[in-house]
Structure 1
Amino acid sequence: MQDDEEDRYRAPALDKGLDILELLASVDGGLTQAEIAKRLDRSPNEFYRMLDRLVKRGYVTRPDGDRYSLTLKLFGLGQLHAPVRRLVSYATSIMRELAETTWQANQLVVFDRGNAVVIAQQEAPHYWGISIRVGSHISLFDTGSGHVLLAFRSPEEREMMIAEHLRTNEEMKQSPDFFARLDQVRDRGYEMMASLQTAGVYNLSAPVIGSDGRGIAALTIPYITLVNAPAAPDITRTITLLQAAAAKLSQLAGSDMQMRI
């Protein structure tokens, strides 16, 4: 019965355009029309007009003549989403101050449609720091930001977030130890873990809490030890500064808006 309801409201042309956008978002370097057709198991002729319209509307580009790639238009539309835009506007000065006091870069991450997504990033004020591009998708399972986003939600919300993440990412299901770890993160109020992506980096992450008590974002520092910089705060002091910044942002966010994730 549910399948019949879904078929009743199908929009084949829209589905085709969305299939193209989702496919191009998953590859680097673009694809030819024939490659798109092959991956989507369709005839190349089915996509000619659709690709032409996507190019004319600015969602897709052809930088070298025969390969199609996504532009940044979708990312720009995402930035226009009012709650995200307001959260970033609140966070900008707080993140800048955090970078200056810790000597470290930091980023703000939210959960969106199955992924942890970087929506703001602040460079370190001195020579060295670890930066992650705005718009990057990172794992829920093996990053400090992902742990915090899950830890400060109810068990039911965690299950839904993980199920959505698994639909968009090929990942193994997590063990009971993983959920015990999330409870520990919630109890102590932050995550501190060695980076599983970059040697010598520690992920320090604290939650931004909305007015309903739910975690709406993760404020994260990829902490590196600065050699010959005695004035730089150590990791313990950096955690304290991070928690204070997250609490300040929580007050601003919780007093004026609720973030729908």
Structure 2
Amino acid sequence: MDRQVFRKIVSEYILETVPKSLIYNLDNFAIRMKKGEYWIDLSLENFYRGYCRQNASLRQQYVAEVLAPFIKDLKRESGVNHQDVKENLQRIYPIIVGPKETKGIATTTLAEDLSVAYVLDEGMRIFFIDKPTIDRLEFSLESIHQTAIDNFFRDLVKPLQLFDKNREIYGFNYGDTYDSSRLLSLILSPRQHGLSNSRRLQVMIPNRDVVLLLLRKEESDLRQAMMIGRSSFINNPYPISGKVYELHKGAVTLFQLPWDAENY
């Protein structure tokens, strides 16, 4: 089945079930559902694959089951509340976000243009935890941060992937919402990836879907790696940063480029 046909099937089901909702098509094979002031994005890729695996007679039921929690939230025009968070602390995870995504949500600054946000993972959807929710929980932000980090290292760490053997570009691109979060494993536990704690590492985090680890420091290789990273930053719906950062002994700082970046 064509992806756009599937998008239409999903959109029509939502509009039939919640008539006063709105549907917006997003470029990265996703839709945005909106009712009143409440909205949520749904990536369709895994949904589409699951749909295609179903027998034809079960596909309508599959759509209804997957969309059920979204429909419920649209009807009540809200997502999770502080009690939902309190009862599901084991499902709070960190996500690295850029400056455009920090408004209204609870964050901890990591470096220039980089912040750690916190989400409650509800399966095919995630909810960013906002500042009022933190206040109502009567937990400190530091406590939420540590809980999210502990959950991350329990569930989400994955091996480095090789992107470019000649230029020694490694990174993370698993496509499961938490690729930007895996920067934290390079910061807090580099040995888990076979890297020395004392080694200075150059990375780019252009968007939520990719982290680039740049192991070669030759100018030509750095320039090419930066072109890849900046393209991913510009052309992604969830951009984070087009800059290069240095990781060293648990600290994250801007990397001082060995050439005039203004004219790059």
Structure 2 length as normaliser, TM-score? 0.28
Structure 1 length as normaliser, TM-score? 0.29
Q: Hey, which of these two has a bigger chunk of strand by percent? A: 2
Q: Hey, which of these two has a bigger chunk of helix by percent? A: 1
Query: Larger relative contact order (C-alpha < 8 A, sep ≥ 6)?
Result: 1
